Chains A and B, each alone.
Chain A
């Protein structure tokens, strides 16, 4: 089976390791790499309150470019996907993986979860529980 690897990146301090690991992984397993970043749009309760997601979208583009550059420095190439999701971005990662037939999702256990007491962040938790393909959770 040809691996189609989806790597979730969020711009946190663990991203560089996640991308490096994914590059090593694809060199060994073969297949393709795709980077995904999901902009978490706040769920707005009052409909007349407008939320401008443009700055977050731009930040997301920069995150993807940074990760893509790192992949290219490893002599590989990767497609990028930018999505928006109200609330937990894990659900969007799961649906993209399902729709596009990815065989493996790679992500860090914690990502942006800051609290030391949290062992598995909410996004990785959501992905691990809901994805229909295999999931590789990286640590530390």
Chain B
């Protein structure tokens, strides 16, 4: 029987919602034998930084962001590896949604597992926009973890 999924891409961002997504991804990998790639995207898109912070990102800020967050996918990878799952971690630089979708196409991932952050609450409405954009643009199946 063909494997349902071969390779799943799991974007992680260090938010409090992330652990649920990671646990979900591990559970799916256990059952389907797919590999997991945990991805952190350091956001350097000047417009989105501008909107979020009301000032453009400087290269220094980007470096700071990368420094503290670039270990996130590696922490997730270790968690998965501890449960005997084939996992890798990587950090990319760019606009999050676009980078996630482009990577999934370029490297032929057949599933994206992404957390949604309570769309219904206004406070988190904009944070959830990455999941929203990925869902709209992806060319492979997307599992939106609530």
Interface residues of A (CB under 8 A from B): 24-25, 28-30, 109, 119-120, 128-140
**Given A28-B31, A130-B119, A130-B120, is A136 in contact with B141 using a C-beta cutoff of 8 Å?**
yes
Evaluate contact between A24 and B4: CB separation under 8 angstroms: yes
* Chain B residues within 8 Å of A, Cβ to Cβ: 4, 24, 28, 31-32, 116, 119-120, 132, 135-146
Q: List 27 A-B contacts (CB under 8 A).
A: A24-B4, A25-B4, A28-B4, A119-B136, A119-B137, A120-B136, A128-B116, A128-B144, A129-B119, A129-B120, A130-B120, A133-B146, A134-B24, A134-B144, A134-B146, A136-B141, A136-B143, A136-B144, A137-B135, A137-B138, A137-B142, A137-B144, A139-B138, A139-B139, A139-B140, A139-B141, A140-B139
CB-based nearest A residue for B33? A28
Number of A-B contacts (CB under 8 A): 51
Interface of A is mostly: mixed
Q: For chain B, what secondary structure do more than half of its interface residues adopt (helix, strand, loop), or is it mixed?
A: mixed
Query: Residues of B contacting A137 with CB < 8 Å?
Result: 135, 138, 141-144
* Minimum CB–CB distance for A62 against chain B, Å: 27
Closest approach, in angstroms, between the C-beta of B144 and any C-beta of chain A?
A: 4
Residues of chain A contacted by B28 (CB below 8 angstroms): 29
Residues of B within 8 A of A24 (CB): 4
By a CB distance below 8 angstroms, the chain A residues around B146 are 131-135
Q: In the complex, are the beta carbons of B141 and A138 less than 8 A apart? A: yes
Q: Hey, which chain B residues are within 8 Å of A136, CB to CB? A: 141-144
Bound CA–CA A43/B140 (angstroms):
34
Q: Which B residues lie within 8 Å of A135 (CB)?
A: 143-144, 146
Q: Which residues of A contact B119 (CB under 8 A)?
A: 129-130
Contacts of B135 in A (CB 8 A): 109, 120, 128, 137
